[in-house]
Structure 1
Amino acid sequence: MYKVFVNDKPLFLTNEISKETDFQLFLLDSIDIEQVIVKMFQNKIKKAYLYHPDESVIMKTLKAKIPVNKAGGGLVYNKKGEVLFIFRNGKWDLPKGGTEKGELIEDTAMREVEEETGVNGLTVVRKLQKTYHVFKRNGKYKLKITHWFEMNSDFEGIPIGQLEEGIEKVAWFKPNEIPEALTNSYENIKLLFEEESEDHEV
């Protein structure tokens, strides 16, 4: 199953019919994906499932309808086991950004962490999951696919937010401070920490 967040509301691409009832279920063959996305942006749909026996077909259809923006981001730990967060648009987020032509996605993630926070001395530990969200820019919908990497950093200076990217604050959070930060974050970021807590003592 893929979870795509549309205006921070979940659109599940699934090959299973769930017994839950608090959502709308659409069959891929009988719906225009773009119409579902429009309704989610208008808050007419809070949670939806798109069904097809082959989930990858749903994702292909979505990518065919909506231009894809590929991005890389980092879940960065320092030597004390604290995690690097940025504060932008009134929410706590993780550093990430779009890939440049010919750039490996791992390099994108490291470059963006450095540019957005000033934190360097990065090493990639492992690849995390990809996250998907649909955003609207200049009246057009785009699907952002972010490739996330867990990283370690031996940086000991003061991180500085990239002002031209609208980053107001950069902070290292201790593991016990992360749940509170996540109450004012995005669903995609919460997903990463769900995965992280399963594999890593957060």
Structure 2
Amino acid sequence: MGNFEAAQIYKIYVNDSLLTIASDEAGQTGLQEYSDSLMLRYHGKTKFLLNIVDNLEKSPTPRQIILQTTDVKKLFTEVLTLFRWIEAGGGVVRNKNNEILAIFRRKRWDLPKGKLDPGETFEEAAVREVIEETGIKSVERGALVTTTMHSFRTKRDIRSLKVTKWYEMTTEDMKLVWQVEEDIENAIWIDPVKFLDGEYDMFASIREVVQQYLRTN
């Protein structure tokens, strides 16, 4: 389960919607990220959880469902039973001009990332995937930016949950040769503030990563 054990709030992105699991002690302040957020209490029924995930997958509203409970870890563990767990590493790569590296994949802008190979750490996977997907020759890995969770359906329609640890990285290599076999159609260097200005369509989870990066840089 990675480093989630001590958390009091869990955020799972379902497409562009958000499932937030929070303790009663967290209150309501700061939990609502969308104007149509719906706040519910969990009463111990797994079917209830399944209905919530189904709704977030199939309906554009509400954009966020907040589940509050007295035992956050227990509820999060129950939510995990609905998914196949996948671990991944990714990078927010900065060049000498303080631009970050973005890729265009499957009609959305994204950041380079990928699944862990057997025996790999999150850090190792993040560096390897950045190099493989973008063609840059080397990066220097820095601190952890954030950890995201997002759900998706596999080609066999298996509901999966990908937990991705994102790391700051720097490079002096500006030449990009993107990995076409991974459905990457383009790769660019771009100012991170401009990347968030609305012109570049991306999943909400990717937007959160860049926002967190900007808070610390």
TM-score scaled to structure 1, two decimals? 0.90
CA contact (8 A) 2:89 2:122 kept: yes
User: CA offsets, 1:57-76, max 9 Å, x none?
Assistant: 22211223311010000000
Structure 1 counterpart SS, 2:128: helix
Figure out how many residues of one structure are paired with residues of the other and give that number: 199
Q: 1:2 aligned to 2:10?
A: yes
CA RMSD of aligned residues (A): 2.0
CA contact (8 A) 2:82 2:159 kept: no
Tell me how far 1:182 sits from its aligned partner: 6.9
User: CA offsets, 1:120-178, max 9 Å, x none?
Assistant: 3211110121101110112210011001101111113x201111110000000024422
Superposition pairs for residues 72-91 of structure 1, below 5 Å? 72-91=89-108
Q: CA 1:91 to 1:181, structure 2 compared with 1: closer, same or farther past 3 Å?
A: farther
Tell me how far 1:197 sits from its aligned partner: 2.1
Superposition pairs for residues 1-202 of structure 1, below 5 Å? 1-16=9-24, 17-18=27-28, 22-32=37-47, 33-43=49-59, 45-46=61-62, 47-137=64-154, 138-156=156-174, 158-180=175-197, 183-200=200-217
Q: Measure the CA separation in 1 of the matches of 2:41 and 2:96.
A: 47
CA contact (8 A) 1:4 1:131 kept: yes
Tell me how far 1:22 sits from its aligned partner: 3.7
In structure 2, list runs of 5 or more residues that go unmatched: 1-8
TM-score scaled to structure 2, two decimals? 0.84
Percent identity, aligned pairs only, is 28
In structure 1, list runs of 5 or more residues that go unmatched: none
CA contact (8 A) 1:28 1:51 kept: no
Q: Structure 2: which amino acid aligns with 1:35?
A: N
Structure 1 counterpart SS, 2:129: helix
